[in-house]
Amino acid sequence: MSIVGGLDIHRKQLTFDWVDEQNGKWERGRIAPADREHLAGWLTRFDPATAGPVAFAMEGCTGWRYIAEEMAKAGVIAHLAEPADTSVLRGPKRRAKTDKADAKLLRELLAADRLPECYIPPSQVLEYRAMLELYQDLRAQHTGWVQRIQAVCFHQGTTAPGQAGIVRGDRARLQAIIDEQLSISGRLQVNTALAVMDVLADHLDRLRRRLLSSARGLQGARALMHEIYGVGPLSSLALCAWLGGADRFSSARKAVRFVGLDITVHSSDGKRSPGRLSRQGPEVLRWLLFEAAKTSARSCAPGYDYYTQVKDRYDANRACLSQARRIVRHATHILTGLGDDAFTIVAQPAAPTTIAR
């Protein structure tokens, strides 16, 4: 590489540190404000056609997406560093940690070929990830408002139905209970919660339809739904979004660790008890995998025998986690075989048409 640099990301400014290895030119400074327009203007100084290859390293924190996209437009090679591993390579802290020092460290690690790189997915995959994370956030908020209704009703001693009854029950019956048994402030609380739930449910329904359409038209997601029992459209789309890609993982064990389903080991200097999940990686993928693993409790499921063995030895939650790891390993092998073809958009089967008689 001719020009090697590091970029430290903050909301207000981007701190850069780069060196031209051919003539020894070194430059350090800041790009402010940190937005696409100013970054694109700064990148115009680098012309890969005349200066040779230009590469910059940055940490995988919030904001790296638009920087990587602008670098790709300018012909600059973007390298994404894993923040925790980069911090380890920094070594013991001997002086104040500054943005300039972080940018210099990234540049030195990239030049020495020691940068702990992360996978930079295509923009299409980033869109899938964003939609799945939004769906999980909306689901969590919807559940939170249901729990608020239950808390208010219990606090005032009403006979309100349970969580399933609030979500899918008779709204007229619930409204009658609210009007008869709650105080004025209680009615205001519950009616406000119901109104917010209706708005969230509308957004959830539209987003879910969009996610289902995306999963059914993605080659990797369709392969996972066909090969793995219990993996539906949402879980297959999440598996493709976070585990798909050519040479993504060298082993299925690393994929399990990436998802955060591996078991932490006991260490003498830690206070965490052994046998706990690491819970690193995408939370939405762990949630969908756990839901998919619950289908193994059905007697017709292929993994029913394995599920029951673990359940009898430990409990149902441990059995679901074990089955979720098996799903990750199976999905990793399938997606590794597909490579980048997992992100190929395929034609969906046409809906049957009815002929009027």
- For the segment 270-323, what is each residue's pLDDT rounded down to a tens digit? 555 555 777 778 999 999 999 999 999 999 999 999 999 999 998 899 999 999
The pLDDT of residue 49: 80
* CA distances for 227 relative to 76, 99, 189, angstroms: 39, 48, 47
Contact 291, 233 (CB under 8 A): no
Mean pLDDT of the chain: 89
Render pLDDT for 142-189 as a digit per residue (tens, 0 to 9). Answer: 999 999 988 998 898 887 677 767 777 777 778 888 888 889 999 999
Q: Is the pLDDT of residue 111 over 70?
A: yes
**How sure is the predictor about 357, in pLDDT bands with cuts at 50, 70 and 90?**
very low
Q: Is the pLDDT of residue 344 over 90?
A: yes
Contact 131, 116 (CB under 8 A): no
Distance between first and last Cα of the chain: 70
The pLDDT of residue 18: 95
Sheet (strand 117-118) strand order? 26-31, 14-20, 3-9, 54-59, 77-81, 117-118
Q: What is the mean pLDDT of residues 10-33?
A: 92
Contact 57, 81 (CB under 8 A): yes
The pLDDT of residue 48: 81
Superfamily of segment(s) 3-118 = Ribonuclease H-like superfamily/Ribonuclease H (3.30.420.10)
Render pLDDT for 219-253 as a digit per residue (tens, 0 to 9). Answer: 999 999 999 999 999 999 999 999 999 888 989 99
Q: Which of 20-29, 61-70, 144-153, 348-357 has the lowest mean pLDDT?
A: 348-357
The pLDDT of residue 268: 52
Q: Is the pLDDT of residue 269 over 60?
A: no
Q: Which residues contact 199 (CB under 8 A, 6 or more apart)?
A: none
Q: Which of 3-7, 93-97, 172-176 has the lowest mean pLDDT?
A: 93-97
- Please report the sign of the dihedral spanned by the C-alpha atoms of residue 57, residue 60, residue 65, residue 67: negative
- Helix H or strand E encompassing 253: helix 252-259
